[in-house]
Structure 1
Amino acid sequence: MNECSTHFFYKKFYIAIRSLAFFVLAAVLFTSCKDKTTEEPTPTTLSKATSEFNADIATRWTDLQLQLIKSTPGYAPPVAARTLGYTSLALYESVVYGMPNYQSLVGQVNGLTSLPKPDLTKEYNWGLAANAALSTLITEMYATTNDANKRAIDSLRRNIESVIRIAIDNQPVTDRSNTFGAEIGKAIWEYSKTDGGHQGWSNNFPTDYKVPVGVGFWEPTSATQKIPLLPYWGKNRTFSSLNMTTNPTAPVSFSFKETSDMFKLAKEVYDVGKALTTEQKAIADFWADGGSTITPPGHHFNIANIVLKKEKVKLDKVAEVYAKVGMAVNDAFISCWRCKYTYNLMRPITYIRQAIDPKWSPLLATPPFPEYSSGHSSGSGAASETLTSIFGDNYAFTDNTHTGKYPDRNFKSFYEYANEATISRLYGGIHYRQGNENGQKNGKEIAKNILKLKFTK
């Protein structure tokens, strides 16, 4: 190789090395300058996995919530569904960093743009975090409950914490875990304030609402309650953005003509109500879930609890199931209420007394809000679709929600329970078949939208 060729070779080699060094330096600078706040923390092995904690850390809080729902003023079904949805989301977010195959729902759930994150270079106890998150949020959500209930909330928090602390005996871990859980609870509380339903328990019957008047429109069915329940609830933000526009199909055209589909629907309610069997009455009573009960959303949630206890699962599974069921049932009730105040359809008792039999009364007391569609059916559709996606079809279980009051009922699948809850409203005389069946179908679609969220990585 001559002198000129040698010089040319070394010059090219130097340029290549310098270019490579430039790209390496640029890559290092780019990596170091990335916004770490948008990245999910990398899990470490310092903390025990969420799957190593007992499920009763969460199920005991649900058991208490069902009692709080029964005895806290203003806890109508939509309000109960909303609270169960938010507390379930808080539970999930407080323990998800101990679930290696799962991820936070920040950026997926409608309007949830950020949440506190743990420092995973340090050890956390996810059981303590869950307990702190739930106690913090439940204290806020049931702020108007009675003093005995407030003492029960504080007592359960202290009891669960004391049991866990005995096992770990590590004050820094305890403090760190409690702080993180409380931060999640507070953040979800602040997030909940922006959905349109904040403190809905305080104004179930807003006096500024003007009841629409027209042929076939809802009319008060009680001499004392002239304003319908939560008329603005359908405007609330849903957990899935898709559920803001997921609605039941429209009801049939209203008519008093005996040849009309509307008349046939009302006549069915009338005929069934006059010839109820003992079993049909039992079904209607079992699913009534009226005032001073755990409400329909609570009933659906209790079924989830029954299954979780039966399966002897751990805390990670409870967090997943609660989050999916809680958000689905909440969104189902928002969609249902949106539909109710879109169509303002009169109740069967009003239609039948005006067009068929002025002396007729249903088995169950008619709730004070429009008929279409059925909240029971919407909620059971959402819960059954969610539970089936997790535990499979043909899952047999016993619903002991009303043990001591009504006999337990056995079901071969979640869809079977949903179908019974749905038809119960026809037996009770408070819904037409279309409100029941279309409500359940819509509830299932609502649940499918929740299940589209990417819980796993």
Structure 2
Amino acid sequence: MKILKTPIVLVLLTLLVSCNTSEVSITNTNSEGNTSDQYTSEVVINWFNLMKKLTTETSGYTPPVAARAFGYTGIALYEGIQLGVPHKKSLSTKLNGLEISCDFDETKAYHWSTVANTILGNMMNYFYVNTSDLNKKRIQEMQQQYKVLCATNTEDSVLNRSILLANQITKQIITWSKSDGGVNAQFSNFPSDYTPIKGEQYWKPTAPDFLPALQPYWGNNRPFMTSNVHNVQPIDPPAYSTDKNSVFFNRAMAVYEAVNNVSKEEIIIAEFWSDDPKTSATPPGHSIAILNQLLEENNYNLFQSSEAFAMLAIGINDAFISCWKTKYETNYVRPITFINNYIDANWSPILVTPPFPEYTSGHSVQSGVLAKILSSIFDNNYGFIDKTHIDRIDIDGTPRYFENFYAMAEEAAISRLYGGIHYKEAINYGLEQGYAIGSNVILLFKN
């Protein structure tokens, strides 16, 4: 359900179904009668659908910035909702610098949809502070609608206790986020103090806009898990060379020929996975869309959904820190620069080359994370249809079927070759980098 496109009467009815406490005995104070796994995940699904819209329509939400907002929001949600199950496992002290304490009383009842609603509203108000007035109104309206409707048949003391708990958690998560190196990143995507390294073998701004380097210091940000940065860095890419017999020259020729001989289907694939800022919710938003869709289709409960989003949130956030560390340490030249200089001065790629170094591919890293984590949540052989772009008219957004999540990741990765913006190694090693990050996250939740 897309709440923002639904008539208000239907919205209220649907929210009432989600929040009605007939499915939970609110007056029962023991954990067996009032656990977060007895609530539906509709509040989560609707909020993350709104988050996609906010990411698309808010200035400065480039992929790394979007991944960060998604990361902290997913963790905040999980920290609140995991308290509502007997087998609770906080991420406090398990993630870098995270220490959470709150006034949670196991002997008292909580309304877990209210906890989720309060947390998600708070986090989006914070991260999307520069969004439009219309979007700020959407955040306020969604939070208020759930607040009012979840009050049906629920004691005021339970609601107030739930809101207090959620506010305590979000306040601590937001404070924690301010020390990671990326605070207010949407206002500083292109630092003026960064100068590209001199030498033709290194990255330079590219046509058509010749934008400066995007987030050149992002790889220095604090990851949620140190292992997702220091233990997953790939080998160096092939050495730069203008020798026509060299590996590097052959890789450049492969990109040149792929674009020159691109098929209609390959163009569709390139555009489907491009996920450019302003026209989409960026690659992290695409990941949100896929997970949201699968949670809804499989009727996952509130706790299951919060755990799934926390896993993906940690993985995607760390994917962009890890990948950006690789990018700005290698400073690898983009195909368009080399091809224009040494193969064909008039050549241009299918997609616009993004303003940062080539190696590794961010799409590949984050798609690898997505595939690994979704395979652990659902199944290695889970087939699904990706409906993310079904409403877009600027590209062919026809839903695409994948026989498993790894097939999805491989298509997302190879789309960057079809688009003419990445070499083979950035794609292949980027996937491996993402798979390794995903494995680290899965292990975290098993311990």
Query: TM-score w.r.t. structure 2 length?
Result: 0.90
What pairs with 1:219-230 in structure 2 (closer than 5 Å)? 219-222=204-207, 224-230=209-215
What pairs with 1:43-442 in structure 2 (closer than 5 Å)? 44-45=30-31, 48-168=34-154, 170-222=155-207, 224-245=209-230, 246-292=232-278, 293-405=280-392, 406-442=397-433
Identify the residue that residue 15 of structure 2 maps to in structure 1. Answer: none
- Take 1:134 and 1:224, find their aligned partners in 2: how far apart are those partners? 36
What are the superposed Cα offsets for residues 274-293 of structure 1, whole Å, 9 maximum, x if unpaired? 01111111100111111311
Between Structure 1 and Structure 2, whose CA radius of gyration is higher? 1
3-state SS of the aligned residue for 2:401? Answer: strand
Amino acid at match of 2:411: E
- Take 2:178 and 2:196, find their aligned partners in 1: how far apart are those partners? 27
Q: Which moved more, 1:369-378 or 1:116-125?
A: 116-125
C-alpha spacing 1:127/1:229, structure 2 compared with 1 (3 Å): same
- Take 2:271 and 2:192, find their aligned partners in 1: how far apart are those partners? 32
Identify the residue that residue 27 of structure 1 maps to in structure 2. Answer: none
Contact 1:133/1:183 (<8 A) preserved: no
Identify the residue that residue 39 of structure 1 maps to in structure 2. Answer: none
3-state SS of the aligned residue for 1:453? Answer: helix
What are the superposed Cα offsets for residues 103-151 of structure 1, whole Å, 9 maximum, x if unpaired? 1110101111233241223221111111111111110011111100000
What are the superposed Cα offsets for residues 65-97 of structure 1, whole Å, 9 maximum, x if unpaired? 000000111000001011111100011001111
- Take 1:45 and 1:320, find their aligned partners in 2: how far apart are those partners? 18
- Take 2:174 and 2:403, find their aligned partners in 1: how far apart are those partners? 38
Deviation at 1:54, TM superposition (A): 1.2
- Take 2:234 and 2:195, find their aligned partners in 1: how far apart are those partners? 24
3-state SS of the aligned residue for 2:61? Answer: coil
Contact 1:46/1:121 (<8 A) preserved: no
What are the superposed Cα offsets for residues 235-286 of structure 1, whole Å, 9 maximum, x if unpaired? 1111112123021221111111111110111100001100111111110011
Amino acid at match of 2:116: A
3-state SS of the aligned residue for 2:126? Answer: helix
Q: Which moved more, 1:421-430 or 1:307-316?
A: 307-316
- Take 2:370 and 2:390, find their aligned partners in 1: how far apart are those partners? 21
3-state SS of the aligned residue for 1:166? Answer: coil
- Take 1:115 and 1:444, find their aligned partners in 2: how far apart are those partners? 32
- Take 1:428 and 1:71, find their aligned partners in 2: how far apart are those partners? 24
What pairs with 1:434-453 in structure 2 (closer than 5 Å)? 434-453=425-444
Amino acid at match of 1:259: N
Contact 2:314/2:441 (<8 A) preserved: yes
- Take 1:165 and 1:386, find their aligned partners in 2: how far apart are those partners? 35
- Take 1:453 and 1:155, find their aligned partners in 2: how far apart are those partners? 36
Identify the residue that residue 18 of structure 1 maps to in structure 2. Answer: none
- Take 1:167 and 1:88, find their aligned partners in 2: how far apart are those partners? 28
Q: Which moved more, 1:243-252 or 1:254-263?
A: 243-252
- Take 2:191 and 2:215, find their aligned partners in 1: how far apart are those partners? 7
Amino acid at match of 1:446: I
- Take 1:102 and 1:356, find their aligned partners in 2: how far apart are those partners? 59
- Take 1:74 and 1:167, find their aligned partners in 2: how far apart are those partners? 42
Contact 1:104/1:455 (<8 A) preserved: no
- Where structure 1 has 5 or more consecutive residues not aligned to the other structure, the ranges are 1-42
Q: Which moved more, 1:259-268 or 1:213-222?
A: 213-222
- Take 1:115 and 1:204, find their aligned partners in 2: how far apart are those partners? 33
Deviation at 1:44, TM superposition (A): 4.2
Query: TM-score w.r.t. structure 1 length?
Result: 0.88
C-alpha spacing 1:434/1:416, structure 2 compared with 1 (3 Å): same
- Where structure 2 has 5 or more consecutive residues not aligned to the other structure, the ranges are 1-28
Contact 2:92/2:98 (<8 A) preserved: yes
- Take 2:359 and 2:275, find their aligned partners in 1: how far apart are those partners? 18
- Take 1:57 and 1:404, find their aligned partners in 2: how far apart are those partners? 22
Amino acid at match of 1:384: A
What are the superposed Cα offsets for residues 321-355 of structure 1, whole Å, 9 maximum, x if unpaired? 00001110111111000111001111100011111
- Take 1:289 and 1:440, find their aligned partners in 2: how far apart are those partners? 17
Amino acid at match of 1:163: L
Contact 2:31/2:84 (<8 A) preserved: no
Identity within the alignment, %: 39
3-state SS of the aligned residue for 1:404? Answer: coil
3-state SS of the aligned residue for 1:288? Answer: coil
Q: How many residues align?
A: 413
- Take 1:46 and 1:393, find their aligned partners in 2: how far apart are those partners? 32
